[in-house]
Amino acid sequence: MSRSGADAREIVLGVSGGIAAYKAASLLRLFTESGDRVTVVPTPSALKFVGAATWEALSGRRVSTDVFDHVDEVQHVRVGQQADLIVVAPATANTLAKAAHGLADDLLSTTLLASRAPIVFAPAMHTEMWENPATQANVRTLRERGCVVLDPAVGRLTGVDSGPGRLPEPEEIFAACRDVLSVSRDADLSGQHVVVSAGGTREYLDPVRFIGNRSSGLQGYALAKAAASRGATVTLVAANVTLPDPAGVSVVRVVTTAEMREAVLTAAHDADAVVMAAAPADFRPVAQADAKIKKTHDGTAPHIELVENPDILAELVRTRTSKHPIIVGFAAETGDANGSVMEHARAKLERKGCDLLVVNDVSEGRVFNAPDSEAVIIGADGFSHAVPHGPKGDIAHAVWDAVVGLTA
Protein backbone atom coordinates (compact mmCIF):
# COMPACT_ATOMS: atom_id res chain seq x y z
CA MET A 1 0.00 0.00 0.00
CA SER A 2 1.33 3.44 -0.90
CA ARG A 3 1.81 5.96 1.88
CA SER A 4 1.75 9.74 1.73
CA GLY A 5 2.12 12.78 3.90
CA ALA A 6 2.79 12.11 7.57
CA ASP A 7 2.79 8.34 6.97
CA ALA A 8 5.68 8.46 4.47
CA ARG A 9 8.96 7.02 5.72
CA GLU A 10 12.40 8.53 5.30
CA ILE A 11 14.73 6.09 3.59
CA VAL A 12 18.43 6.63 3.02
CA LEU A 13 19.71 4.58 0.09
CA GLY A 14 23.48 4.28 0.27
CA VAL A 15 25.15 3.22 -2.96
CA SER A 16 28.78 2.17 -2.96
CA GLY A 17 31.11 1.72 -5.90
CA GLY A 18 30.35 -1.60 -7.55
CA ILE A 19 29.09 -2.66 -10.95
CA ALA A 20 25.77 -3.65 -9.32
CA ALA A 21 25.07 0.02 -8.53
CA TYR A 22 22.71 0.14 -11.51
CA LYS A 23 20.35 -2.28 -9.72
CA ALA A 24 19.95 0.22 -6.90
CA ALA A 25 17.91 2.37 -9.29
CA SER A 26 15.24 -0.36 -9.35
CA LEU A 27 15.36 -0.57 -5.55
CA LEU A 28 14.89 3.19 -5.34
CA ARG A 29 11.84 2.94 -7.60
CA LEU A 30 10.30 0.24 -5.36
CA PHE A 31 10.58 2.55 -2.36
CA THR A 32 9.20 5.62 -4.10
CA GLU A 33 6.30 3.69 -5.60
CA SER A 34 5.44 2.57 -2.06
CA GLY A 35 5.19 6.20 -0.99
CA ASP A 36 8.55 6.44 0.81
CA ARG A 37 10.77 9.49 0.61
CA VAL A 38 14.28 8.49 -0.43
CA THR A 39 17.57 10.31 -0.09
CA VAL A 40 20.31 8.70 -2.15
CA VAL A 41 23.81 8.93 -0.70
CA PRO A 42 26.33 7.49 -3.17
CA THR A 43 30.04 7.19 -2.56
CA PRO A 44 32.29 9.06 -5.01
CA SER A 45 33.17 5.71 -6.59
CA ALA A 46 29.48 4.88 -7.07
CA LEU A 47 29.07 7.95 -9.27
CA LYS A 48 31.54 6.40 -11.72
CA PHE A 49 28.92 3.71 -12.37
CA VAL A 50 25.66 5.71 -12.09
CA GLY A 51 25.69 9.51 -12.20
CA ALA A 52 24.10 11.96 -9.79
CA ALA A 53 21.57 13.05 -12.41
CA THR A 54 19.99 9.58 -12.41
CA TRP A 55 19.64 9.50 -8.62
CA GLU A 56 18.24 13.03 -8.47
CA ALA A 57 15.72 12.34 -11.24
CA LEU A 58 14.46 9.13 -9.63
CA SER A 59 14.39 10.39 -6.04
CA GLY A 60 13.42 14.02 -6.66
CA ARG A 61 16.09 15.05 -4.18
CA ARG A 62 19.53 16.59 -4.34
CA VAL A 63 22.46 14.16 -4.22
CA SER A 64 25.69 14.76 -2.32
CA THR A 65 28.72 12.61 -1.63
CA ASP A 66 30.99 14.87 0.41
CA VAL A 67 30.62 16.05 4.00
CA PHE A 68 31.65 19.53 2.81
CA ASP A 69 28.67 19.82 0.48
CA HIS A 70 26.06 22.18 1.97
CA VAL A 71 27.94 22.48 5.25
CA ASP A 72 25.36 24.93 6.60
CA GLU A 73 22.82 22.08 6.68
CA VAL A 74 25.19 19.75 8.60
CA GLN A 75 24.28 17.00 6.16
CA HIS A 76 26.59 14.36 7.64
CA VAL A 77 24.44 14.39 10.81
CA ARG A 78 21.03 15.51 9.59
CA VAL A 79 20.55 12.85 6.91
CA GLY A 80 21.17 10.01 9.36
CA GLN A 81 19.12 11.57 12.15
CA GLN A 82 16.02 11.86 9.99
CA ALA A 83 16.16 8.33 8.57
CA ASP A 84 13.67 5.60 9.42
CA LEU A 85 15.90 3.11 7.62
CA ILE A 86 19.28 3.07 5.91
CA VAL A 87 19.90 0.48 3.22
CA VAL A 88 23.26 0.19 1.48
CA ALA A 89 22.98 -1.56 -1.89
CA PRO A 90 25.39 -2.53 -3.18
CA ALA A 91 27.63 -2.68 -0.13
CA THR A 92 31.18 -3.30 -1.22
CA ALA A 93 33.86 -4.95 0.90
CA ASN A 94 35.36 -1.50 1.49
CA THR A 95 32.03 -0.05 2.71
CA LEU A 96 31.46 -3.02 5.05
CA ALA A 97 34.98 -2.60 6.45
CA LYS A 98 34.51 1.13 7.08
CA ALA A 99 31.14 0.57 8.74
CA ALA A 100 32.51 -2.20 10.97
CA HIS A 101 35.45 -0.10 12.11
CA GLY A 102 33.64 3.22 12.45
CA LEU A 103 35.56 5.04 9.73
CA ALA A 104 33.94 8.19 8.34
CA ASP A 105 35.61 9.76 5.32
CA ASP A 106 32.62 10.47 3.07
CA LEU A 107 28.95 11.37 3.45
CA LEU A 108 27.73 7.74 3.43
CA SER A 109 30.07 6.52 6.16
CA THR A 110 29.38 9.56 8.36
CA THR A 111 25.63 9.07 7.85
CA LEU A 112 25.94 5.47 9.04
CA LEU A 113 27.70 6.66 12.20
CA ALA A 114 25.27 9.47 12.90
CA SER A 115 22.05 7.45 12.61
CA ARG A 116 20.18 5.33 15.12
CA ALA A 117 17.91 3.92 12.41
CA PRO A 118 18.01 0.23 11.48
CA ILE A 119 20.61 -0.50 8.82
CA VAL A 120 20.44 -3.10 6.05
CA PHE A 121 23.54 -3.97 4.02
CA ALA A 122 23.19 -5.81 0.69
CA PRO A 123 26.73 -6.93 -0.17
CA ALA A 124 27.99 -7.36 -3.72
CA MET A 125 31.56 -8.27 -4.63
CA HIS A 126 33.64 -11.04 -6.14
CA THR A 127 33.50 -14.41 -4.40
CA GLU A 128 37.08 -14.22 -3.16
CA MET A 129 36.42 -10.85 -1.54
CA TRP A 130 33.20 -12.04 0.12
CA GLU A 131 34.85 -15.21 1.47
CA ASN A 132 37.98 -13.41 2.67
CA PRO A 133 38.34 -13.79 6.47
CA ALA A 134 38.57 -10.02 6.87
CA THR A 135 35.20 -9.47 5.15
CA GLN A 136 33.58 -12.29 7.10
CA ALA A 137 34.87 -10.80 10.37
CA ASN A 138 33.43 -7.41 9.42
CA VAL A 139 30.07 -9.01 8.60
CA ARG A 140 30.01 -10.77 11.98
CA THR A 141 30.80 -7.49 13.73
CA LEU A 142 27.99 -5.64 11.97
CA ARG A 143 25.47 -8.40 12.68
CA GLU A 144 26.47 -8.50 16.33
CA ARG A 145 25.70 -4.77 16.50
CA GLY A 146 22.19 -5.38 15.21
CA CYS A 147 22.68 -4.51 11.53
CA VAL A 148 21.03 -6.74 8.95
CA VAL A 149 23.68 -7.97 6.52
CA LEU A 150 22.10 -9.96 3.73
CA ASP A 151 24.00 -12.85 2.21
CA PRO A 152 24.87 -12.17 -1.43
CA ALA A 153 23.16 -14.22 -4.11
CA VAL A 154 24.96 -16.93 -6.04
CA GLY A 155 25.26 -16.38 -9.78
CA ARG A 156 27.03 -14.63 -12.62
CA LEU A 157 29.40 -11.87 -11.54
CA THR A 158 31.39 -9.51 -13.75
CA GLY A 159 33.28 -11.13 -16.61
CA VAL A 160 33.06 -14.91 -16.73
CA ASP A 161 33.16 -15.39 -12.96
CA SER A 162 30.28 -17.00 -11.09
CA GLY A 163 29.68 -17.73 -7.41
CA PRO A 164 28.47 -16.12 -4.19
CA GLY A 165 28.83 -12.35 -4.36
CA ARG A 166 26.04 -11.26 -6.66
CA LEU A 167 23.73 -8.50 -5.37
CA PRO A 168 20.34 -9.94 -4.35
CA GLU A 169 17.56 -8.88 -6.65
CA PRO A 170 16.00 -5.49 -5.77
CA GLU A 171 12.69 -7.17 -4.89
CA GLU A 172 14.46 -9.38 -2.32
CA ILE A 173 16.28 -6.40 -0.78
CA PHE A 174 13.05 -4.41 -0.69
CA ALA A 175 11.22 -7.29 1.02
CA ALA A 176 13.97 -7.52 3.65
CA CYS A 177 13.75 -3.77 4.26
CA ARG A 178 9.98 -3.94 4.48
CA ASP A 179 10.30 -6.64 7.15
CA VAL A 180 12.73 -4.48 9.13
CA LEU A 181 10.42 -1.47 8.89
CA SER A 182 7.38 -3.50 9.89
CA VAL A 183 8.94 -4.57 13.18
CA SER A 184 8.41 -1.92 15.83
CA ARG A 185 10.98 -3.47 18.12
CA ASP A 186 14.72 -3.58 18.47
CA ALA A 187 16.79 -6.28 16.79
CA ASP A 188 15.77 -8.63 19.58
CA LEU A 189 17.25 -11.70 17.88
CA SER A 190 20.61 -10.07 17.24
CA GLY A 191 23.46 -12.43 18.05
CA GLN A 192 21.11 -15.44 18.01
CA HIS A 193 21.38 -18.42 15.69
CA VAL A 194 17.99 -19.83 14.76
CA VAL A 195 17.12 -22.86 12.66
CA VAL A 196 13.89 -23.08 10.66
CA SER A 197 12.64 -26.04 8.65
CA ALA A 198 10.25 -25.58 5.74
CA GLY A 199 8.45 -27.53 3.04
CA GLY A 200 7.42 -31.14 2.77
CA THR A 201 9.75 -34.12 2.53
CA ARG A 202 9.42 -36.82 -0.12
CA GLU A 203 9.91 -40.54 0.26
CA TYR A 204 10.44 -42.19 -3.13
CA LEU A 205 8.73 -45.42 -4.09
CA ASP A 206 10.68 -45.59 -7.35
CA PRO A 207 12.59 -43.05 -9.50
CA VAL A 208 9.27 -41.40 -10.47
CA ARG A 209 6.78 -41.69 -7.60
CA PHE A 210 6.98 -40.53 -4.02
CA ILE A 211 4.98 -40.16 -0.82
CA GLY A 212 4.66 -36.46 0.00
CA ASN A 213 2.34 -33.77 1.25
CA ARG A 214 0.99 -30.36 0.28
CA SER A 215 3.35 -28.16 2.27
CA SER A 216 4.57 -25.22 0.15
CA GLY A 217 7.18 -23.89 2.57
CA LEU A 218 5.59 -20.42 2.63
CA GLN A 219 5.28 -20.32 6.42
CA GLY A 220 8.81 -21.57 7.02
CA TYR A 221 10.21 -19.01 4.60
CA ALA A 222 8.20 -16.27 6.32
CA LEU A 223 9.71 -17.37 9.65
CA ALA A 224 13.22 -17.27 8.21
CA LYS A 225 12.71 -13.79 6.71
CA ALA A 226 11.21 -12.45 9.95
CA ALA A 227 14.09 -13.81 12.03
CA ALA A 228 16.65 -12.27 9.68
CA SER A 229 14.88 -8.91 9.87
CA ARG A 230 15.18 -9.08 13.66
CA GLY A 231 18.93 -9.58 13.51
CA ALA A 232 19.26 -13.36 13.77
CA THR A 233 21.68 -15.57 11.91
CA VAL A 234 19.28 -17.95 10.17
CA THR A 235 19.73 -21.49 8.85
CA LEU A 236 16.77 -22.57 6.73
CA VAL A 237 16.44 -26.30 6.02
CA ALA A 238 14.16 -26.45 2.98
CA ALA A 239 12.57 -29.61 1.63
CA ASN A 240 11.38 -29.53 -1.98
CA VAL A 241 10.55 -25.82 -1.97
CA THR A 242 10.52 -23.81 -5.20
CA LEU A 243 10.53 -20.37 -3.54
CA PRO A 244 13.54 -18.03 -4.04
CA ASP A 245 16.10 -18.10 -1.25
CA PRO A 246 15.32 -15.42 1.35
CA ALA A 247 17.91 -12.65 1.43
CA GLY A 248 20.31 -12.91 4.35
CA VAL A 249 19.44 -16.54 5.10
CA SER A 250 21.62 -19.65 4.73
CA VAL A 251 19.59 -22.31 2.93
CA VAL A 252 20.24 -26.06 3.19
CA ARG A 253 18.23 -28.04 0.64
CA VAL A 254 17.01 -31.56 1.43
CA VAL A 255 14.58 -34.07 -0.07
CA THR A 256 13.82 -36.87 2.39
CA THR A 257 12.99 -36.94 6.08
CA ALA A 258 16.32 -38.62 6.81
CA GLU A 259 18.15 -35.77 5.07
CA MET A 260 16.09 -33.20 6.97
CA ARG A 261 16.84 -34.93 10.26
CA GLU A 262 20.58 -34.84 9.63
CA ALA A 263 20.56 -31.19 8.49
CA VAL A 264 18.37 -29.96 11.36
CA LEU A 265 20.27 -31.82 14.08
CA THR A 266 23.59 -30.56 12.69
CA ALA A 267 22.40 -26.95 12.54
CA ALA A 268 20.73 -27.19 15.96
CA HIS A 269 24.01 -28.04 17.64
CA ASP A 270 24.78 -24.36 18.33
CA ALA A 271 21.29 -22.91 17.80
CA ASP A 272 19.40 -20.73 20.25
CA ALA A 273 16.02 -21.70 18.79
CA VAL A 274 14.69 -24.29 16.35
CA VAL A 275 11.32 -23.90 14.64
CA MET A 276 10.07 -27.04 12.90
CA ALA A 277 7.64 -25.55 10.39
CA ALA A 278 8.27 -28.30 7.84
CA ALA A 279 5.99 -31.25 7.22
CA PRO A 280 8.22 -34.35 7.30
CA ALA A 281 6.66 -37.51 5.92
CA ASP A 282 5.63 -39.85 8.72
CA PHE A 283 6.41 -43.00 6.74
CA ARG A 284 8.80 -44.20 4.06
CA PRO A 285 8.92 -47.35 1.94
CA VAL A 286 10.98 -50.20 3.33
CA ALA A 287 12.62 -50.44 -0.09
CA GLN A 288 12.79 -48.15 -3.11
CA ALA A 289 12.44 -49.77 -6.52
CA ASP A 290 15.37 -49.18 -8.87
CA ALA A 291 13.06 -48.80 -11.87
CA LYS A 292 9.58 -47.40 -12.34
CA ILE A 293 6.95 -49.75 -10.93
CA LYS A 294 4.85 -50.89 -13.90
CA LYS A 295 1.14 -51.60 -14.07
CA THR A 296 0.25 -55.27 -14.04
CA HIS A 297 -2.81 -54.78 -16.33
CA ASP A 298 -4.66 -57.44 -14.38
CA GLY A 299 -6.26 -55.05 -11.87
CA THR A 300 -3.88 -55.81 -9.02
CA ALA A 301 -1.82 -53.15 -7.29
CA PRO A 302 1.70 -53.56 -5.92
CA HIS A 303 2.13 -54.14 -2.21
CA ILE A 304 4.20 -51.38 -0.63
CA GLU A 305 5.49 -51.93 2.88
CA LEU A 306 6.07 -48.79 4.93
CA VAL A 307 8.19 -48.08 7.99
CA GLU A 308 7.87 -45.12 10.35
CA ASN A 309 10.27 -42.22 9.88
CA PRO A 310 12.21 -40.76 12.82
CA ASP A 311 10.39 -38.05 14.79
CA ILE A 312 12.71 -35.05 14.35
CA LEU A 313 10.83 -32.78 16.76
CA ALA A 314 10.81 -35.38 19.54
CA GLU A 315 14.51 -36.12 18.97
CA LEU A 316 15.37 -32.43 19.22
CA VAL A 317 13.62 -32.26 22.59
CA ARG A 318 15.17 -35.52 23.82
CA THR A 319 18.76 -34.60 22.90
CA ARG A 320 18.91 -30.95 23.92
CA THR A 321 20.78 -29.73 26.97
CA SER A 322 18.39 -28.44 29.63
CA LYS A 323 16.05 -25.97 27.87
CA HIS A 324 18.51 -24.96 25.14
CA PRO A 325 17.67 -24.49 22.34
CA ILE A 326 14.07 -23.30 22.52
CA ILE A 327 12.07 -25.69 20.35
CA VAL A 328 8.91 -24.78 18.45
CA GLY A 329 6.72 -27.33 16.71
CA PHE A 330 3.87 -27.00 14.24
CA ALA A 331 0.60 -28.91 14.27
CA ALA A 332 -1.60 -29.10 11.18
CA GLU A 333 -4.78 -30.44 12.75
CA THR A 334 -8.38 -31.26 11.93
CA GLY A 335 -11.10 -32.04 14.42
CA ASP A 336 -12.68 -35.50 14.52
CA ALA A 337 -14.83 -37.72 16.70
CA ASN A 338 -11.99 -38.03 19.21
CA GLY A 339 -11.49 -34.33 19.82
CA SER A 340 -11.35 -30.77 18.55
CA VAL A 341 -8.40 -29.16 16.77
CA MET A 342 -7.16 -27.58 20.02
CA GLU A 343 -7.64 -30.78 22.03
CA HIS A 344 -5.50 -32.68 19.55
CA ALA A 345 -2.94 -29.85 19.56
CA ARG A 346 -2.58 -29.74 23.34
CA ALA A 347 -2.15 -33.51 23.42
CA LYS A 348 0.59 -33.19 20.80
CA LEU A 349 2.32 -30.43 22.75
CA GLU A 350 2.44 -32.64 25.84
CA ARG A 351 3.52 -35.69 23.86
CA LYS A 352 6.32 -33.92 21.96
CA GLY A 353 7.63 -31.92 24.92
CA CYS A 354 8.47 -28.81 22.89
CA ASP A 355 8.28 -25.30 24.35
CA LEU A 356 5.76 -23.87 21.87
CA LEU A 357 3.38 -25.33 19.33
CA VAL A 358 1.87 -23.39 16.42
CA VAL A 359 -1.56 -24.80 15.65
CA ASN A 360 -3.15 -24.56 12.19
CA ASP A 361 -6.66 -25.76 11.44
CA VAL A 362 -6.23 -27.39 8.02
CA SER A 363 -9.82 -28.54 7.61
CA GLU A 364 -10.95 -28.42 3.96
CA GLY A 365 -7.38 -27.82 2.77
CA ARG A 366 -6.94 -24.45 4.45
CA VAL A 367 -3.41 -23.02 4.96
CA PHE A 368 -1.62 -25.04 2.26
CA ASN A 369 -0.16 -22.96 -0.59
CA ALA A 370 -1.95 -19.85 0.69
CA PRO A 371 -0.13 -16.57 1.46
CA ASP A 372 -2.47 -15.92 4.40
CA SER A 373 -3.37 -17.99 7.40
CA GLU A 374 -4.35 -17.89 11.05
CA ALA A 375 -2.95 -19.81 13.99
CA VAL A 376 -2.95 -20.30 17.72
CA ILE A 377 0.40 -20.43 19.51
CA ILE A 378 0.34 -22.47 22.71
CA GLY A 379 3.09 -23.08 25.23
CA ALA A 380 4.06 -25.76 27.69
CA ASP A 381 3.68 -23.16 30.45
CA GLY A 382 0.03 -22.50 29.58
CA PHE A 383 0.76 -19.64 27.17
CA SER A 384 -1.85 -19.15 24.44
CA HIS A 385 -2.01 -16.50 21.73
CA ALA A 386 -4.39 -16.43 18.76
CA VAL A 387 -3.05 -14.81 15.59
CA PRO A 388 -5.95 -13.56 13.43
CA HIS A 389 -6.22 -14.27 9.72
CA GLY A 390 -3.58 -12.37 7.79
CA PRO A 391 -0.23 -12.71 6.00
CA LYS A 392 1.95 -15.59 7.13
CA GLY A 393 4.57 -12.99 7.99
CA ASP A 394 2.30 -11.86 10.84
CA ILE A 395 2.28 -15.39 12.24
CA ALA A 396 6.06 -15.54 11.84
CA HIS A 397 6.62 -12.42 13.92
CA ALA A 398 4.13 -13.66 16.53
CA VAL A 399 6.14 -16.87 16.83
CA TRP A 400 9.40 -14.96 17.32
CA ASP A 401 7.67 -12.68 19.85
CA ALA A 402 6.73 -15.81 21.81
CA VAL A 403 10.28 -17.20 21.54
CA VAL A 404 11.75 -13.90 22.79
CA GLY A 405 9.20 -13.94 25.61
CA LEU A 406 10.58 -17.27 26.83
CA THR A 407 14.05 -15.75 27.21
CA ALA A 408 12.94 -12.52 28.89
Q: Which SS3 state, helix, strand or coil, does residue 83 take?
A: coil
Distance between CA atoms of residues 277 and 198, nearest Å: 5
Kindly give the interhelix angle for 312-319 and 341-352, rounded to the nearest 10 degrees: 40
Q: Which SS3 state, helix, strand or coil, does residue 173 take?
A: helix
Spatial neighbors of 340 by CB under 8 A, at least 6 apart, are none
Distance between CA atoms of residues 111 and 47, nearest Å: 17
Distance between CA atoms of residues 33 and 271, nearest Å: 38
Distance between CA atoms of residues 273 and 91, nearest Å: 29
Q: Which SS3 state, helix, strand or coil, does residue 317 take?
A: helix
Distance between CA atoms of residues 362 and 401, nearest Å: 23
Instruction: Yes or no: say if 371 and 378 are a contact pair by the CB < 8 Å rule.
Output: no
Is the preceding omega at residue 325 within 30 degrees of 0, hence cis? yes
Q: Which SS3 state, helix, strand or coil, does residue 293 take?
A: coil
Report CA-CA distances (Å) from 44 to 27, 38, 96.
19, 19, 16
Spatial neighbors of 237 by CB under 8 A, at least 6 apart, are 195, 196, 197, 198, 252, 254, 260, 263, 264, 267, 278
Where in the sequence numbering do the catalytic residues fall?
Answer: 213
Specify the amino acid at residue 102: G
